[in-house]
Amino acid sequence: MSTGKSWLRILIELIETFINSKEGNKRITSKHRKQSTAIRKAKSLAKKYKADVIIHRASGGIRERISYED
């Protein structure tokens, strides 16, 4: 299923709602009420696809980046 490129999962805080989405994708992968749940799900997906998790602040800046690439 992987095309050889790393997938980036992005976590964005939107008024007390946290979402995961693939970079460049308009569709939401998953939506969560708690930030901790969204981060756990994003990490799980990133491990599966050997990708990065990028956690954004509400202001749009990057808070943390976690890489699961080989």
Q: Where are the domains of the chain?
A: 8-67
CB neighbour class for 46 (10 Å; exposed up to 12, middle 13-18, buried from 19):
buried
Q: Is the pTM of this model over 0.75?
A: no
The answer to whether 51 and 8 are in contact (CB under 8 A) is yes
User: What's the angle, vertex CA 58, arms to CA 42 and CA 16, rounded to 5?
Assistant: 75
Chain segment 3-59, per-residue pLDDT in tens: 555 555 555 555 566 777 777 777 878 888 888 888 888 888 888 888 888 888 878
The answer to whether 63 and 56 are in contact (CB under 8 A) is yes
Whether pLDDT at 62 is above 80:
yes
Closest to 22 in 3D by CA, of 34, 36, 1: 1
